[in-house]
Chains A and B, each alone.
Chain A
């Protein structure tokens, strides 16, 4: 879902840069009060893992593919601000080193995939985790991808209407197409994220920052608030 150069109207791309810079400044402010050695190492390894996972597109049918976004995975393990920093760094490396995603659209890509992806995942996960942990992870991962797709569709539609069709894609094409493709990509994201979080919860439950999931708690520990 990396937006290339020249697809969005310049005003929409500029707005994306402005919004991304504001949120990144807040992220830096919040994060530097919170990081310890273990979190820093985990952030680095997780970011590197998400980078290579993003290279592995999976087929969703109809000659289309998707790949892990990773915002939900990073957010569930390390919190939303670490998630924003991780995905932002990956997007910058992809754009500068590998030419993946346009430089002019980098602000929008950061806003969509890093900021909105992480915050939506965090909101769904926080709202649902008390009732059913595994479902919360699955829904948070799906919602992060699907919401980002709808936001990107809105940006395409706004670009199209404000430029009289020079940039973007008409809303009547952008919304249904992005929604249908990312419905399946979101399910893939949810399956991969659930699998990784479940695995980490079992082999190293201490890595899960926001809470200790119930499936990672030994029987004698049940009832003890982590």
Chain B
């Protein structure tokens, strides 16, 4: 875990989060109200999305501040999950 916090990686992570916080402004201006390609295809076919089996512990948020917070939470969860999973895989081999 020590290496993860070396200056270079911290800089890279900070850069990603700054780009995300700026990109999120563009998302809310241009894209937030629209669905993706699969959702548009479902609309064309007149298929409604059914109730999910599990709706998740959180959601992506409905405004800039909430989405920024969820993005940071997702960033940290993903970072730790992949890091620990990859370490675990290597440990098992050793």
Contact = CB atoms under 8 A, between A and B. Distances in A.
Given A43-B86, A65-B35, A67-B36, A98 B58 contact: yes
Interface string B57-89: 111100000010011011111111111011101
Contact of B17 (A52, A64, A153): A52
A96 B56 contact: yes
Question: What does DSSP make chain B's interface, helix, strand, loop or mixed?
Answer: helix
Interface stretch (A14-22, A123-131, A169-177, A215-223): A169-177
Interface of B: 3-4, 9, 12-13, 16-17, 20, 23-24, 26-27, 30-32, 34-42, 44-45, 47, 49-60, 67, 70-71, 73-83, 85-87, 89-90, 92-93
28 contacts: A1-B38, A5-B53, A6-B50, A7-B47, A7-B50, A31-B89, A41-B9, A44-B79, A44-B82, A45-B79, A52-B16, A55-B70, A56-B24, A57-B27, A58-B27, A63-B34, A85-B82, A85-B85, A93-B78, A97-B58, A98-B58, A99-B57, A103-B53, A104-B53, A149-B37, A153-B41, A177-B37, A185-B37
